[in-house]
Structure 1
Amino acid sequence: MREAKRVVVRLEGRAFVFEVDIAEEDLISEMISPLSLFIKRGFPIKVIQTSTPSMGRSQSMWTTILTSIKELGEWLDDLKRLGRIHRGRA
């Protein structure tokens, strides 16, 4: 049996937050990919993304609305790149 993936679920106010290790690219992809079902049904996805470098003090925030599968794929690719940068493997 393989090692278990660590997934933390937090309820913060009205938010339901999943937390996984940034190195788990495959798990992150599998968690984000189902959003395509909503996009296919005509429901755009509003993404509010924040990031803070491990040694940084400032936080960056980014917002977009995904209306196509192509945009979802591009966002996922950007997340993977950002994850590599945060892990120091740019």
Structure 2
Amino acid sequence: MYSVHKLLWDIRRDPSVKDRYMRDSGAVLDEYGIEDEFRDHLQQLDFKSMYEKGINPYLLYFCAIQLEVDRAEYYARIRGEK
């Protein structure tokens, strides 16, 4: 779980990580050693599942903003509407 939190933090704080993630999420997930269900959740931007598995909601929200997910879209996803 630490690697997921680290990636979310880095996407928020480092524009180069965000840009690389937007271009090739798989390569960035490999770099951070993220596998299994969290890999799928991150590639699908499944914020609800990540939240339910204990990912910090603050990091989720601000990462979503950096990944250009609109606020209304984020809240719809976190409620499981999309």
Would the TM-score normalized by the shorter structure come out above 0.5? Answer: no
User: Is the strand fraction higher in 1 or 2?
Assistant: 1
User: Is the helix fraction higher in 1 or 2?
Assistant: 2
Bigger Rg, structure 1 or 2: 1
TM-score range for the pair, normalised by the shorter chain length: under 0.3
How does the TM-score come out when normalised to structure 1? 0.25
Higher relative contact order (CA 8 A, sep 6+): 2
